[in-house]
Structure formats: structure tokens, C-alpha cells
Structure 1
């Protein structure tokens, strides 16, 4: 079997949904890592005209595919022949698909939008921050379908792992304390060898691009500040020399 080529930018959560599943199923793959600022340029737009990651090229089937949900569905249907991460009964099969779509339409967009308004939007918009942080807490759930781990659970992990960047004043080590069942589930998921291998790869690719674990360039954050929450607190307090100009 030839390796599946995975196009990604290492900071964002979505590519790691695909890598996590590839690792869990033991499917050989190779990574094409590009910088975020290059997603709208060739060769990325030659693979995905929409200029987004992840995308895959599977030489075993001569298929190029983008959109993480579509890729996950393809990998499960094509390669999970033992139904390790799926079910075959009518109800469970479609409930899995339902939760995958909710991850793409609910979890990812709400987490991402909340993080944007908290940290990146040029103006503070309290009503938007309030709305989207409430949506983040609303969509947090626990076991999704059936009595075993499935691709739906795997798809939720990368965004949940970054939830501290979608909430106000929540440090990384306390990110799921308000949701004990979710926290226990998340810790079971992230203790898996497949996740650990995925994160070792992510750390390597981030380092190659000169990025901190939170996606910011190395040297952009003051010494001793490691989380978005601490960084924003310092900025708001007027203690960051970058904002004194």
C-alpha cells in the first residue's frame, strides 16, 4: 500500500483529526506541511482550489479529497474494513455521521469563532465574545455513539484539546475542569498512542516553522507567558511592551 499524502498546516486542529484516524487505523501516510500563509497559493490550491487544509492524495485509488469530514468518511469506508472505528447497524451508522457533521458545523466553527473574537479581532466585541463562548460550552459533550470509541470521538479531540483558546480566562491546565465527564473522556482519548504520535509529529512540524504550540511565532510572546489567556491578560493590563508603541 502506498502512503496517503496529507496536506496540512500544523497549527490548526482540523488536519489532526485526519492524522489521528490514520494513526489509529495504522494506515501509512506522508505529510506535506506548508505554512498558513501559503494555503492560498500553489501548490496548495492545485490540490484544493478552496485553499484550505487538510487535503489528501491517495495514490492507491487515484483520489484527491479535501474537507476533513469528507476525508474521514472516505478513510472509514475505504480502509476500516474491520469496523474498528465504526458500526454497521442502521441507527448507529447514521448517528456516527450525525456527530461528525455536528463536529464540523458546531464544534469547529464555534470554537474557532470564539477564539477569533477573544484574541484576534481588532476590536473587543463583548456581545460576540459572550455568544460564542456560551456556544462552546453548549456543544461540549461526552461519549457520542454506542459503547466503544469511534471516528466520531476521534474527530472531536483536536478542537477539545484547544478549548482554552476559545474561552475567556481559562488556563490550559484547567480547560475542561468545568466538564468532568468530558475531561475524563478527553484524557482517555489523548492518552492513546495514536494521539501521542500525532502530537509528536505536530511538535516537529511546528518547530520547523518556528511556531509555539499555540500557533504564535517563537519570540512573539514575552518570557514566561505560555498561554493565550495569560498573554491577553498581560496585554489588557498594558504590560506588554509590544503594545506600548
Structure 2
């Protein structure tokens, strides 16, 4: 019997929920452990995640402790998706899959995060920074839109961890743009991206995790 994986999480952060989607999709038992920001920055958490951020997983089935959401997702797929239901294990698809996970980690996550910070959190309003990172959100979506022309998913003919890794940051776009959301019309400007995102959002597991996140936010985790 598979023992539950511990998922260190935070209600507001999109990256732990990205991992939760993969755990749910693969039917891997897990126990979320919510930390506040102060707890992340001190012992004992720093012993398992020197970066002081979430997510981190502790897997009692293998003895592995791992941080960085992209690495965690690839680990979960390689360790538990033995039938390739949500991933690819042969060339060239496994490399294309990794390519898009790296793109998500290096482009979507950092740029969307900076857009969030300067538009909604930073104590000073810096229009040039906000404009820059809003433009980067649009650029990332334009890249995905081009790739998805004539395709339903990023790799092969099925939804995979490559696709699902983008979901939770995209959820934040309306909040990030706030009063300026009128300048961002994904359905009109990025129709391939928009249709793909709608397919991902319609998945029962994604809907469950979105609900779980809303409940966590409500309870103050």
C-alpha cells in the first residue's frame, strides 16, 4: 500500500497547488501541511527546503525529500505514473514534455510572479515595472498560442504534466490584471491558448483542486 506523501503548501501560492493537481490526477495519497511565510524561513523547514519556499514533498515510500515544483512533478510522474497516463517516458516526447515544464518554470512562473508583486503587493506603484510584466504575461501566452495551433495539448495527443503545470499560475491572471483586465482578452487574442486552458479547467481534478484552494484561502491557511 502506498503511504501518503506530505505536501508542504501555502494557500495563496500557486506552485503547491500545481503539485496537488498532479498528485490528484495520479491518485497518489497525500497530506497537505500548510505553512505560513514565517515558518518557511526558519528551522525545521529550512532543513528540508534550504530555499525557504513551498512546495516541498516528503515521500515515505522512497525516502526522498524534494523541493522545486517542476522537479517534484517530474519525480511523481517517473515514480508513480507507470502506465504513462499523464506523462511520456520515451523519446522524443519525454524531452518535449521536459521542455515545456522548464518553460513554465523559467518563463511563466517568474514573470507572472513579478507581475503579481508589482501590480498587487509592492508598496509603491511603478508603472514601468507593471507594464513590463504585464507584457511578459501576454508574451508567454502568445508562445503557447503559437505552439497549440492545430493541437489540443502541448505534447502528443493527450493531456500531460506539461500542460497541467501551467494551470495554477494562469488562474491568477484576472487577479493580477485587476482593473486593467479589459486590456487582456485571451479568447480573442490567443484563441488556441484559450481553448486549451478551457480544456484543462474542465478536468474534474482541476476543478477539485481549485475548490480546495478556495477553501484553504477561506480558512486562512
Aligned counterpart, 1:59: 60
Count of matched residue pairs: 208
Task: Name the counterpart of 1:26.
Answer: 27
Deviates more, 1:199-208 or 1:131-140: 199-208
State the secondary structure of the residue aligned to 2:58.
Answer: strand
The match for 1:190 among 185, 201, 204 is: 201
Q: What's the counterpart of residue 105 of structure 2?
A: 104
What TM-score results when the alignment is normalised by the length of structure 1? 0.79
Equivalent residue number for residue 180 of structure 1: 191
- Structure 1, 93-102 or 31-40: larger mean CA deviation: 31-40
Q: Name the structure 2 match of 1:147.
A: 157
- Which residue of 2 is the match for residue 202 of structure 1? 213
1:167 equivalenced with 2:177 (yes/no): yes
What's the CA shift for 1:2? 0.3
The answer to which structure has the higher helix fraction is 2
RCO higher in structure (CA 8 A, sep ≥6): 2
- The corresponding residue for 2:39 is 38
**After the TM superposition, which parts of structure 1 deviate over 4 Å for at least 4 consecutive aligned residues?**
none
Residue 77 of structure 1: how far off its partner (Å): 0.6
Q: TM-score, normalised by structure 2?
A: 0.87
On the 8 A contact 1:103/1:156 being kept in 2, the answer is yes
Whole-angstrom distance in 1 between the partners of 2:37 and 2:215: 16
CA distance in 1, matches of 2:79, 2:214: 29
Give the aligned partner of residue 126 of structure 1.
127
Provide the alpha-carbon RMSD of the alignment: 1.8
Q: Which runs of 5+ in 2 are unaligned?
A: none
Deviation at 1:136, TM superposition (A): 0.7
1:156 aligns with 2:157: no
CA radius of gyration, larger in: 1
How many Å separate the matches in 2 of 1:16 and 1:175?
25
